[in-house]
Amino acid sequence: MKMLDYVQLAHVRMGENLERSSELVAQLVDIFQSGSFDALRIVASGSSRHAADCARDYLQDALQMQVSVVTPEAFVDFEHTYPQHVLNIAVSQSGYSTNTIAALDYMRAHDMAAVALTANVEAPIKEHADIVLDYGVGVESVDFVTLGVEVLVEYLVLFGIYGGQARGTIDAKGVAQRLDDLREAIHANAVMCKTAEAYVQDHMLELSEHTPAMVVGNGPNYGVAEEAALKLSETIKIPAMHHEGEEFVHGPEMQIVPGYL
């Protein structure tokens, strides 16, 4: 399969996962509910971190608690003390990420529950976590994480919905409404694929020029901007930077010239 095949498969996989949503996140919800946690910290890097950044605001709203997203290195060196009574979730789609494994080792060495999310529960990560959970993406056989980004966002949103229900911040009516909203978002994703293909064809010349690119996004779309900049760097090998909206107008926009993307 090619990368574009996984892009087009995303709404199908997300739809399948939505149909088994309660079962998919049940184990993580049980862990969350049994631990009387006051905060949530997601430890991830690369595309997994970007997906977590997309879902962070939603999780905070659904769970009504502080939710932070940190890299494994930042977690080990600095971001492990506060907040206290926090549930740490380490994410590695491949299950081979050595920095995420190091973060899990730190958790276990310091008597923290070491929960891992992955697409490959048989990968080396299983030897370093107390609990390994499959977030439902399946196997991706291209070099660049594609399907895994959107499916991880969906998984975290579903955890927010059912975790919020368990925590008492979302009632049954709210759960049903949020699941309907997610169903609409999955449909919109399918429409987006067709729209994006047309957009790329219309702008093929600009997108084909190897000029620096800047991607801007706010809130949940900051994670999208991070991922877009990464994919531009990985796939077509151009310098690409991500910025939050206000930070972009605070300086970086001043370097924009007509040749920039």
Is 223 inside a domain boundary? Answer: yes
| Whether residues 51 and 163 fall in one domain | yes
pLDDT digits (tens, 9 = 90+) for 165-214: 999 999 999 999 999 999 999 999 999 988 999 998 998 888 888 888 99
**CATH number of residue 98's parent domain:** 3.40.50.10490
Residue 188 lies in a domain: no
Peptide bond into 212 cis (omega under 30): no
Task: Kindly state whether residue 73 falls inside one of the protein's structural domains.
Answer: yes
Q: What is the pLDDT of residues 6-18, one digit of tens each?
A: 777 888 999 999 9
**15 shares its domain with 62:** yes
Q: Where are the extended beta strands (E) located within the chain? A: 39-43, 66-70, 86-91, 115-118, 131-134, 213-216, 240-243
Structural domain including 234 reads 209-253
Over residues 93-148, the pLDDT tens digits come to 989 999 999 999 999 999 998 999 999 999 999 999 999 999 998 876 666 667 78
Say whether both 161 and 47 belong to one domain: yes
Asked whether residue 234 falls in the same domain as residue 129, the answer is no
- Number of compact structural domains in the chain: 2
- Residue 18 domain-assigned? yes
Q: Is there a single domain that holds both residue 247 and residue 125?
A: no
